[in-house]
Structures are given as structure tokens and as C-alpha cells.
Chain A
Amino acid sequence: MSKKQKKKDILSKDFRKIREVDGITEYVLINNGLRVLHKHIPKTGVITTNITYLVGSRDEQPGETGVAHMLEHMLFKPTKQDIAKKIPSGAMEFERNVGVVLNANTWKDRTTYYFSYGKEHFSEALLIEAQRMRDVVLSDKEFLPERTNVLSEFDMYNGDPHFALAVDMTCSAFISHPYGHETIGFREDIEAYTISKLQKFYNHFYRPNNAVLMVIGDVDASVALKEIAVKFKHLEAEPNVMDRPIIVEPKQEGTRRVEVVRPGITNILALGFKHPAFPEQGWFETCIILRLLTDGSDSILAKKLIDTGLASGISVSQSFSKDKDLATIYVTLTKKTTHKRAEELILGLIREISVTTIKKQLKPIITKMVTEEIFSRDSSLNIAAELTEYVAAGKWEAYVETETILKKIKLKDIKVRMDELFINSNLTIGNYKSI
């Protein structure tokens, strides 16, 4: 039987092909709705499999913030199959026996697990993912020490002034929308988790029809699909998993402000503003504006703040979020200025940026972003990581359109976007003060 015929047989029996865009093909496992994205990179000897569940911190209720992330940790604990085999955890054993690269991460709209390994381990990697989708045994014995690890992780982030400020700023920026807390949650909520809370979350969201499995690397489609069908076909879908409320953030009517005071020497002024969702063109416009303002020694804020000794550092955050989210510019101030003076200076500078300045910088910024995109896709692991963000935003095919989107952006788009982003009723300003 020819390869083509084999692939066709598997397709007609178990999978339906949805579309193919620029070397990436999307399939759906007919009986339970698991979606598969496959990209064949021959002769590398390496495969990355990445399963992304379309559940994140946005799906958490008040009092249980961070539960999506806590559950991510628990997926490295034993499944019922592991317990039967008397091994600690399939995923951990996979690393400890084979040396695969493995990890996971949780964000606002998604939770992602990945393995990168030699191609001979493909079947084993799929088996582990399939088993832990439904069969992790959540018990206090495994949960309690892991919760202290998560608290340790929380404290690690919280020791960073930028994080402390971000927590308060997102809370203030979002009154109704569930983006109003950091993914790791509040310490008080983490301390109050119970197994039953985790179990409920796991039962509902960890389902094949709420997941996208990416297979990137040295395995062709016929082999990949056959193995996926064997390992995932029996898993049950949850019909109601996609029924989630659409929450529109109420209109903001003025600048919001927060302040964090701690002992130490660091003083930070943070300028937060809401921006369009990823991967809309407006998201990329925001990205360009942030680069114009802060990227490199020749950026507008670096010249006015770092070069003059008013600041010792500038950094930014902008998330790949499915809905409108908060981006932030953090400026670490020196003793030569105050929060108030720096805020006036920065907002004044931003509002005075001329069309001529933008015009000169726009094309080079776009060229640089396109180059960086190409660099960021140089291994199966990196391709999967980037594709994940497009999957979580519900538009994976935009992954191959990034260059086109960027090159379409015009001077007037940037000017209009800039005026929208930095009006008072779109701002959340944070002051981190040391005493």
C-alpha cells in the first residue's frame, strides 16, 4: 500500500482534514473533537509534541485564582496507569529515563504541556499525554507538597517589584473581565485550594474537545495520525466545555492608579494601557509602538530617561491574549527624579511624538520584527511554543500571516493607535516606592 493510500485510509476512518496552511495541517479526531496540528520537518531526528488545553486563569472563579496553574503542576503526578505500574509519574519517568525536554506553562487563555525528544519516542510521548488528560489521580499526598512548591514559585515572582506592581495594576485595570488577576493567583487563594476544587476543574476542562495537539518535527502525517488515533480515540469529550460566558469589560472613565510600598531601594513608575487582542492587527501596532518607545538605545524613552540618568532601566510587557489586555511600560527611576515628574515627562513625550518621527522609524521596526520572527522559529520546540499563542487565541493560521500583517501596517494606523492607547481613560498607572 502506498504512503498516500495509508494516509487516506486513516483520514477517512478517524480524522477529518480541516485545512492546510503553509506546511501546517489541521485535523480533527472525529469521535471526540481533538484537534491536531502537524508540521513535518524531515531529517532532524527530533519531534516536539505540545498539547494545549484551552483553559487558563480567565476560567477561574473568585477565591480560586491560580487553580489552572496549580492543576498544571498536578499533571506531573501519577496517573492511575502509573500507580498500577508502581512508577511515580509517567511524565517524570519519561524525562528520567530518556532525557526528554519537558515542561508546561499556564497563561490567561491556555495551559500547555510539551515534550521534545528523539523521534523513536513518539509513541511513548503520545501515550503519556493521553493518559494524563483524564487519569491523573489527585490526592492530598501528592497535592500538599506541590502546593508549597507553588507558594515558593509565587514568592519567587513576588520578590520582583515588577510582579508586585503588575498584580495590583491588573486588578485595578479590570473590574469585570477575568484578566484581572495574575496567572499564578493570589497567595491567600493558593493556600486555600482543595483537591475537590482541582478535581472539578480537571474533569470539566481536560477533555479532547478542549485541546489542540501539535506535532512538529521528524514524523510524517500518516505515522503521526495513526499513533494519535490509537492513543486518544477512546477519550471522552465534554459537550459543554466550550460554553463559557463572554465578558465585556465596562468602560473606563479616567486614569486608574495603584501604589506598592516596600522596604528596599527600587523605585518604579509603570504605565499600563489596554490594547487590542492577539493576533489582531491592533496587537501588532501596539507592539510597534512599544518598540518605538522602549526598544534599544535609540528608542524615545531610552534617550530621554536612560541617557539623561533619570532611569536605570526600562522594560515592557505585552501578552498574547485572546481579549483586550493590559500592556505595561516599567521605568526604574534613579534618585534624580520622582514618580510624579517622570510620569509627566513620559506622558508629555508620548503625546508629542510627531508623525515624522514615526514615519522614520516604522519601516526599520517592522523589518526587525520580521527578522526576529524568522529567528524565533528555528527549532521544533520554538515553532510549537510560538504556534501555541496563535492556537490559544483561536486563530492558529495567523501564525503564517505574521509577516503579512506587519507589512500591512501604515503610518496612520500607528498614529491613530497611539492616540487611543494613551488617553487618560485607557491608563492604569502604578508606583512602586521603596522606603
Chain B
Amino acid sequence: MVTTKVFSMYVKTSREGNLTYGEIIKPGARTISLNITSETNLRNTPGNIVLTLLYSDLLMSGSGGLSRDEFQFKLNELGSSITVSATEDKITVSVNLLETKLKQTMSLFELMIAKPSFKVGEFKRAAQTLKNSLEQHKENAKSIALSKLKNSLFNPDSRNYSYDPDTLIKAVEEIKLVNFKDIHALFLASKWIATAGGSEKAVKSIIKNLRKIKPQGEELEKAEEVNFSGLKSKHVITHEVSSKQNIEVSIGGYLPLTLNDSELPAFLFGLAVLGKWGGFSGRLMSTVREKEGLTYGIYAHVQGITLDRAGFWRIMTFFSPKDVVKGVTSTLREVSLIANRGITEKELSRFRTILKTADELVLDSLSATTGLVHNRLLIGQTWDEYKAFREKMYSCTRTEINKVLKEYLNTNTITISTAGPIAIVKKELVKFAN
């Protein structure tokens, strides 16, 4: 595998058996960031989702002879942090530390994964905490708008489908202590994706250590998914969250492309012209925000795509109730405009520079680069493949971009999902449906 120099850092990704890893070396770095993701690949059911969430809590709730507090105290003494998070079919352990604390921190990490306690008391606490947190989620209008958009596009067994808080709260009741031993065995045996950023000495030492502690196991079969729900018309969803001031809006559609599809780079380029995530350069920010003054922020991006899974595109924004109809109208106008007329030569040239610069600026930060490399490995791209993908994107022609925009930004088969103080505008909003 080729080592690539990026500014003052070196990046390399490799695969050895069921350990795929990225090394980001910054000479002289004092800090180390390490991410380890296990592809547990469980089927997308409410039970598996809450099991994974509870497991991520319990993994940090006592190991070996140490209680939760004792374990945390030892970490704090070192100034290091370990966090465990659960997303879709993956569990990620993130470790941040100073190089001077490498040996002791890695010992704690090893203890955590070798001898988790899974005690009854901690399980009860974690279950209660999760239920309380899910209750609170019922007022998260932004997340509700997104979930309902995804659910209109995908079947329940798809990774892109989200279950509502009440379903998940009910599923918590079904989980038994013994389930955690099973999921932990799965965590250990599954394929690991690890990324370490730091000095050369530290990174090499971590990777060497991971090779030693990663138990062998067979690669899991992918859980079956029937992805697309088959939505064939324009769809409007409204959800009342009366405590909010703005109406959160997620507008999007199914995108039948995977990472290997040759059309994806062109689509991503075109979507960036429409609503590049962050900053002010996308068309939506120029028109809906700047010229028309209808929202503070409006962006577009693609989600849920991996090497073997299609995903969706979406626009994320919010409007005040009095502006929501005008705002959705303007947004749809911009989507239609770019789908029907495409991007201009000037936009092609400008966005080549914009996208290249954005890629380069990430590399000013060791932790941001480590995060970037890790996220690419998670969706199945090595660093070299990622760079080749981006080069392909920069070199897309206007014809290629406009062709895919026309094909996939179809405003007749989209979902407009809204959540917030909907009551007074609901009648107007539903008129957007076919």
C-alpha cells in the first residue's frame, strides 16, 4: 500500500485478515486519536438497536475488578478518554490520549474489551437512562423530520430506517442480561476497522498492539435488507412539535447508487453546487437564504451510501411557520432548476476549486484527518481509493453532472418531511403532495 504525504502528515491504510487499519502520522505530535469500529452488522430491528445502544453504555460500566467509577477514575487520572458509540450496524470505541500515557491507556482499553462486567445493577441503570433519553427525543424536531423522511424511502429492515422512540422504549423491556455476552462475542469476532493518528512511534505501537489483541473470527454475512420502499409519488409528512418556534424541514429522495457506481462522483459534485454542506457557496444558500431571506441555513447532501448499499439525498433546513410555504416553494424551484437546466460552466470550474480546497483544509488538523480516514474506511474505501474517488469527482464533465442530476433529482418522487409548530400551516403544506 502506498503511503501518501498530505501536508505535514503521512496517511496509509492497510488490511490484514479481519483488521483494516489507517495510520495517520504527524511527526512530533503529542496527541493520539484512535477509533476502532466493529462491524456487528445486526439486522435493523428495534431489539437490536436498543441492544447496541445499551451495550455501548455497559462496555464502559465496569471491567475486570474495576467498577464503572473506578474505571473512569483511572482514565481521568491519565487525562485520557474512552467513549463508545453505537450507530446503525456498528460499534465504535474512540480513545483520545497524550503519547506519554499510551501504555497505561491502552491497558485500560484492553481490560475493557477483555473483561467487561455486565452487572445487573448497571444494566438496570443503563436501561432506565436510555428510556429517559428516548422520551426526550420526542421533542427533537430536526431528528424527527429526518427519521420520517428516511422511513418514507426505506423498508424497516434497511439500515436507513429509524424506529420511533415509543417502539424502542418497548424494545428495551425485552433485553436480557445474557444478550450482552452474545453481542460482545460478536464485537470481538467481527471485522475491526481501526484508525490511529499521532507520531510514528505511537501509531506503530498501537497497530502492533491491535494485531495482538484482535481475536480472529470469520467475516459476518451481511444481514439481508430490502432497501427502497418503492415510493413513486411526491409525499408530504407533517409532525407537530408545538414547543418549537421554527419548522424543521427535510426534503429528499431515494438514490439508487452505491460507492462503486460511476455516476456517484458526478451526482455528489452536482449536489454540492445545489447546497454544499457548510459555508455559503451552494445555490440554496445564495437564493433561499441570501436573496430571499427565508432561512438561516439550507444545505444538501447524500447519506447512507456504502460499497454495497444505496442511500438517499436530502436537503436540510428550517423555516418560520409564516415562511414555510414560501420556503418549500423556493427550495423545490431550485431543485427543479438544477435538475432541468443543470450546472453552468462557471459553476463547474468554481466548484472544482471549492471541493479541492475543502479536502485540503481538513488536513490541517490531525484529529480531523484521523476522523476522515476512519469514516472512509467505514464505508469501504481505503485512503487511495478515496483519493481516486475525489479525483474522479473533480474531473467530472458538465455533461456527466447534468445527466445524473436530471435522472436522480426527481421532484415528482420526493418526500417533504416537516416537524415543528405545524398546526396553522398543515393544510397549506399537504398541498405540496401530488
Contact = CB atoms under 8 A, between A and B. Distances in A.
Given A97-B353, A374-B31, A159 B243 contact: yes
Interface string A142-164: 00111111111101101101000
A367 B76 contact: yes
B355 interface: yes
Contacts of B279: 95, 101-103
Contact size class for B? 35 or more
A417 to B, nearest CB: 20
A177 to B, nearest CB: 28
A416 interface: no
Interface stretch (A41-49, A53-61, A392-400): A41-49
Contact of A155 (B138, B246, B367, B368): B246
A152 B361 contact: no
Contact of A298 (B68, B133, B318): B68
B30 to A, nearest CB: 6
Interface string B266-298: 000000000000011100000001111111100
Contacts of B350: 96-97
A262 interface: yes
Contact of A312 (B79, B135, B244, B291): B135
B280 A95 contact: yes
B434 interface: no
A282 interface: no
Nearest to B276: A99
A98 B353 contact: yes
Interface residues of A, number: 68
Interface string B31-58: 1000000000000000000000000000
Interface stretch (B124-132, B168-176, B228-236, B379-387): B124-132
Interface in A410-434: 434
A293 to B, nearest CB: 14
A144 to B, nearest CB: 7
A146 B97 contact: no
Question: In this complex, which of B128, B354, B361 has the most chain A Cβ atoms within 10 angstroms of its Cβ?
Answer: B361
Contact of A296 (B7, B72, B139): B72
Given A155-B245, A159-B244, A365-B76, A43 B7 contact: yes
B79 A152 contact: no
Contacts of A365: 76
Nearest first, the 5 closest Cβ-Cβ pairs linking A and B are A145-B293, A264-B243, A99-B357, A99-B354, A364-B76
16 contacts: A97-B350, A148-B294, A148-B323, A149-B289, A149-B293, A263-B242, A265-B138, A306-B129, A309-B129, A364-B77, A371-B97, A379-B364, A380-B364, A381-B365, A382-B365, A434-B243
